[in-house]
Amino acid sequence: MTKRFPPINPKCPHFIHGGDYNPDQWLRTPEVLDEDMRLMKLSGCNTMTAGVFSWASYEPREGEFHFDWLDAAMDKIAKNGGYVVLATPSGSRPAWMSEKYPEVCRVNARFGMNREPHQGRHNHCRTSPVYREKCRIINTKLAERYKDHPALLVWHVSNEYNGGPCHCELCLEAFREWLKRRYDHDLDKLNHAWWTAFWGHSFGEWEQINPVDWSIHGMMLDWNRFNTDQTIDFFKAECEPLRRLTPDIPITTNLMGFSPTLDYFKIAREMDVVSWDSYPPYHDRSDDWKYGAHVSLAHDLNRSLKQKPHMQMECSPGVQNWKPVNKLKRPGLHIVEGLQCIAHGGDSVQYFQWRKNRGGIEKFHGAVVDHYPSENTRVFKEVSELGKILASLDDVVGTTVNAEVAILYDWENRWAIDQISGPRREKKDYQETCVEHYRSFWSSGVSCDVVNEDSDYSKYKLLIAPMLYMVRPGCAERIEEFVRNGGVFVTTYLSGIANESDLCFTNGYPGPLRELMGVWAEEIDALYDEEKVEVLAAEGNEAGLNGAYAATTFCDLVHLEGAKALAAYNSEFYKGRPAATVNHHGQGRAYYIASRNDDRFHADFYNTLINDLKLRRALGCKLPNGVTAQVRTDGQRDFIFILGFNREPVQIDLGAQKYRDVVSGVEVQSTLALPAYTTRVLEPVS
């Protein structure tokens, strides 16, 4: 049953629209605040994200607190009908703290395993009791002061937690304690799980364990797990005063898409609402729509983490400043990017940042209000246009996405793949491979969720798990059950290789999936960048494969053990061996794609599955290249978002169905002209 979720905070029954706001950088020109209020209303922004890096202005000297500027800003924003996403400031700390309590600074490899000097940001020790206590004090003060403030909408805890590990004595000690719990205080158990007999690295005492030895893959996996858990522990400590004093204010922390270092599935469990920061490198040498698809998958991930509307906490309203080349966002693309979040189930469009700062490393980063603070800039006008569109879409707030397809992306699997040495060191590209498999659904307007190895798969028709290298206990069993009950499962080369400690399976790859897949994967060939192996579709195969395809990077050599070949390699010494197979199992089936294939392979293969499984598409018709359509629904009303990432105009042939343009109210039928970089929101009319 599809339902409508309440708004992120019922105080604001609209889409949240706004940006990071730093009035503490403008204390010498207080008139800026009034001007900001005028511009805020003009741009259709309703929410400011305040205080992300404001600790030094709240507490310039230990124990001396000032909140006057924030009082003034919050009051003004409330008076003007706006809201505040209020941050806790732990992303950067005042200089006095690093000076007086050096233990708060991270010890890491970037500084030769020394403490980082006071600089930059996002570099605190997560274990330090002093840092946790200082965070508790400032967070308590903020919660006490603003708990009844009408503007307070959401807590934004810290900023972009990242996994850059801290190697201080406190963190190492906490890691060893974490290991004792994981391995039942049994060093033998740990030594076995990590296969430390290799290169003679067995540990005789817990104190000898130091997570710098990249040759012990099991240890590095546990170190990553520990860093996620320690981040969660730190996050929960930060949340404690907020939960106690403001139980009704939802809490988030801003994630970073597929950022490799922390397991977001775990962190999301502790959040009330998921949010993330999106910075795709549009207009580089690749097609814009490819980044569009990548960002779509990231939105699907963020929505799926809690299976409810998420937030886009940051994106640049204009240019970025930290890419090697920072191109201006082409006209129209910003609106596409904003509505893309909404299309995929998000309930906010927020920016870094509201007003460009005059100094500091990010002074050339895009903002709604430029150094010359005019409402006549291209960027301001485009933000304002998006503001108007968002304001006309109140009926969409809280609706959701109903996916029949799930893409399996798992952080622990990624850590394992990233560190393996072989079959290729480079171009393993787990994340990109997931996007490549997703693109066919994106191009056909079929919604997808993102799941991991611990998820429940029973509600999906199709589960796609590219490169499922690590298979943790219970996962293969749940996949088998899913297929037995009629589900369709797809996996690829480099799957079913190792367990949760990165110990290789010894029952023949794909290990615990071997019986389900009906293949034994004996060896895997790696190709140089320029090499290709031809893959030829079998005559009359049931997967819609047709003709010759090009395989690159990885070619798995499998033996059929009950599965049927759908295609075969057509060159190399393995010419004639199966390159894609299907195994019918229970009421479902399981596909093994043995090589990394070209886009045409994915299109033929997945479009056939889309038709066979009658997967719901946003629009009944074919979409032009570079365009996707995504549906949000409350079970009664469907809102179809059409997102066009093309530089040139295209046209959609809508067929017989009539629609209403939800923004303009105009009826749309037969053909829909899409100018370059454009969006439409349609509702079917009978």
Q: Give the footprint of ligand GLA on this chain (CB under 6 A).
A: 159-160, 277, 279, 314, 320, 322, 352, 362, 365
Q: Which stretch binds Zn ion (CB under 5 A): 119-127, 192-200, 390-398, 441-449?
A: 119-127
320 binds, among Zn ion, ligand GLA, none (CB under 5 to 8 A by kind): ligand GLA
Q: Which stretch binds Zn ion (CB under 5 A): 160-168, 188-196, 419-427, 571-579?
A: 160-168
Q: What residues does 138 pair with on adjacent strands?
A: none
Minimum CB separation of residue 19 from ligand GLA in Å reads 11
Q: What are phi and psi of 226, to 5 degrees?
A: -60, -45
Minimum CB separation of residue 156 from ligand GLA in Å reads 10
DSSP letter at 330 equals: P
Binding of residue 672 to Zn ion (CB under 5 A): no
Count residues near Zn ion (CB under 5 A): 5
Minimum CB separation of residue 161 from ligand GLA in Å reads 11
Tell me whether residue 160 is one of the annotated catalytic residues.
yes
Return the H-helix or E-strand segment holding 599: helix 599-612
Minimum CB separation of residue 84 from ligand GLA in Å reads 17
Q: Which of 84, 125, 311, 408 binds Zn ion (CB under 5 A)?
A: 125
β-strand pairing of 348-351 with 16-21: parallel
Q: Which of 47, 90, 98, 127 binds Zn ion (CB under 5 A)?
A: 127
Minimum CB separation of residue 365 from ligand GLA in Å reads 5
Tokens of 531: 């090499």
Nearer to ligand GLA, 158 or 630 (CB): 158
Given the residues 35, 103, 160, 270, select the one marked as catalytic: 160
Tell me which residue has tokens 């006309």: 392
Tokens of 178: 């974490």
Given the residues 314, 404, 412, 500, select the one marked as catalytic: 314
Query: Which residue's Cβ has the minimum distance to ligand GLA?
Result: 277
Asked if 154 and 9 count as a contact pair (C-beta separation under 8 A), the reply is yes
Q: How many CB atoms lie within 10 A of CB 519?
A: 27
Asked if 112 and 77 count as a contact pair (C-beta separation under 8 A), the reply is no
Tokens of 488: 């369709």
CA-wise closest residue to 634 among 297, 432, 399, 323 = 399
DSSP letter at 6 equals: P
Minimum CB separation of residue 238 from Zn ion in Å reads 16
What is the greatest pairwise CA distance in the chain? 78
Measured distance CA(223)–CA(171) in Å, rounded? 11
467 binds, among ligand GLA, Zn ion, none (CB under 5 to 8 A by kind): none
Nearer to ligand GLA, 131 or 352 (CB): 352
Nearer to ligand GLA, 276 or 574 (CB): 276
Measured distance CA(108)–CA(112) in Å, rounded? 7
Minimum CB separation of residue 53 from ligand GLA in Å reads 7
DSSP letter at 95 equals: H
Tell me which residue has tokens 């199966």: 578
160 binds, among ligand GLA, Zn ion, none (CB under 5 to 8 A by kind): ligand GLA
125 binds, among ligand GLA, Zn ion, none (CB under 5 to 8 A by kind): Zn ion
Minimum CB separation of residue 283 from ligand GLA in Å reads 16
Measured distance CA(289)–CA(465) in Å, rounded? 23
Nearer to ligand GLA, 277 or 480 (CB): 277
Measured distance CA(153)–CA(83) in Å, rounded? 6
Q: How many CB atoms lie within 10 A of CB 114?
A: 12
127 binds, among Zn ion, ligand GLA, none (CB under 5 to 8 A by kind): Zn ion
305 binds, among Zn ion, ligand GLA, none (CB under 5 to 8 A by kind): none
Q: 3-state class of 548 per DSSP? A: strand
DSSP letter at 50 equals: E
Binding of residue 166 to Zn ion (CB under 5 A): yes
171 binds, among ligand GLA, Zn ion, none (CB under 5 to 8 A by kind): Zn ion
Prior bond to 423 cis, omega within 30?
yes
Measured distance CA(539)–CA(206) in Å, rounded? 59
444 binds, among ligand GLA, Zn ion, none (CB under 5 to 8 A by kind): none
Measured distance CA(497)–CA(408) in Å, rounded? 16
Tell me whether residue 404 is one of the annotated catalytic residues.
no
Asked if 609 and 488 count as a contact pair (C-beta separation under 8 A), the reply is yes
Nearer to ligand GLA, 43 or 320 (CB): 320
Q: Which stretch binds Zn ion (CB under 5 A): 170-178, 254-262, 284-292, 348-356?
A: 170-178
Binding of residue 168 to Zn ion (CB under 5 A): yes
Active site residues: 160, 314
Binding site for Zn ion (CB under 5 A): 125, 127, 166, 168, 171
